[in-house]
Amino acid sequence: MGKGAVLGTIALSLLAVPARAAGPHTDPEASATLPAPDATGLIEVLRTAVTEGAPGALAEVDDNGSSYRLARGVADRGTRQLISTDDRFRIGSVTKTFSTVVLLQLADEHRLDLDAPVDRYLPGLLPDDRITVRHLLSHRSGLYDYTNDMFARSVPGFEAVRDKVFTYGQLVRLSLTKPRTNEPGAAYAYSNTNFVVAGMLIEKLTGHPVKTEYDNRILKPLKLTDTFYVHPDTRIPGRYARGYLTPDTAGAPLVDATAQTASWAQSAGALISSARDLNTFFSALLGGKLVSPARLAEMERFTRVDAKTSYGLGLRRRDLSCGVSVYGHTGAVQGYYTYAFATKDGRRSVTAAATTSNNGKVLTTLGGVLESAFCGKQAKARSLPAAGAPDLTQ
């Protein structure tokens, strides 16, 4: 890719490759009907995120052959190395979509029934045999989110688990010490516990670690060379941006949270990736390359969460100011926020990351990349309201 203009500490590169010829589009959310991404708006979002406390922020838009790659700030506060869209980072709950794809592939192989009780596959694990696999993947199980207590205080909570290695069973038991939030299927209530159980299902049904299933079913087929499941290793391989946790006390110094086992998250949030890989993943998923059309349709059966957000099976939908809906997931893990979304046809995708967490302003601001990437200059707003509190349940 050729070098683009350098604007202050923002590097902007546009790679204009002729797009493949495509047939006519009838889907109103197809990328062919969208205005061009607003590069100026994207720059504004990244600049604001850095001003609000993120050491670095990046975004990449891939649009049917053309790419917009932008970055602002530093990847390392110590060395002052500039952040780049080539940097890898922890993607937090975007991992949930990967876990869902594995389970839906198993459903396509007739090895899993989404409407079967979890206890059919993991006997005695859960206290209610009415909780189904579908309930887990749509956050309607009612299982309490153990991270609410684990990270009630951001820095002490993180330091207590930074180097710890949990079993899946230990995490589930932490959840089961608390009452359930609702009856199975009665309401949406986001919980990392659901996707810890999803990881247990993957391992029980395949006889392999989740890492093996991610590798063989998603990473290798899509050639995602920047995406890794290294648990319980604490290192990010290759080139990466360091992540910084914002303490609860205003004005307290940022905490470098880069090195951690992420064992508290595992199949709910421990993957490492890059903007390019996440765009490739969501484009492939929404383009029908990872699961059958029937399973993709099930992923896209959404429950309304708030005015602009709905949740399907391991997949979020965001409704934008220009009338377009986009599909993907958000992620929050100590030191990093991520937005990764694509059009319904998968032809335009955007991934943005900021290298801080526990900072609600940055989380909300970063959502503005969706408006600039998909609505272009007609966007009515540069940011979206955050989906929930600025914690680890994104």
For 153-179, write each residue's pLDDT tens digit: 999 999 999 999 999 999 999 999 999
Higher pLDDT, residue 27 or 149: 149
Does the structure show a pLDDT above 80 at 216?
Answer: yes
Q: Please list the residues that pair with 6 across neighbouring strands.
A: 11
Confidence (pLDDT) at 31: 64
What is the third-level CATH fold of 39-375? Beta-lactamase (3.40.710)
Tens of pLDDT along 82-136? 999 999 999 999 999 999 999 999 999 999 999 999 999 999 999 999 999 999 9
Going by the DSSP 8-state scheme, the letter that residue 267 receives in this structure is G
Catalytic residue among 13, 31, 67, 93: 93
Nearest to 283 by CA among 242, 330, 341: 341
Q: Band of the pLDDT at 33, cuts 50, 70, 90?
A: confident
Q: Is the pTM of this model over 0.95?
A: no
Lowest pLDDT segment from 18-22, 48-52, 295-299: 18-22
Mean pLDDT of all residues belonging to the chain: 91
Give phi and psi for 118, each to the nearest 5.
-55, -35
Cα distances from 167 to residues 34, 125, 197, 309, in angstroms, run: 45, 13, 11, 32
Q: Of 376, 375, 377, 329, which Cα lies nearest the Cα of 352?
A: 329
Is-catalytic flag, 93? yes
| Cα separation values, 62 from 162, 244, 277, 343, Å | 34, 27, 11, 11
pLDDT at 245 over 90: yes
Asked if residue 220 has pLDDT above 80, the reply is yes
Q: How confident is the model at residue 18 (pLDDT cuts 50, 70, 90)?
A: very low
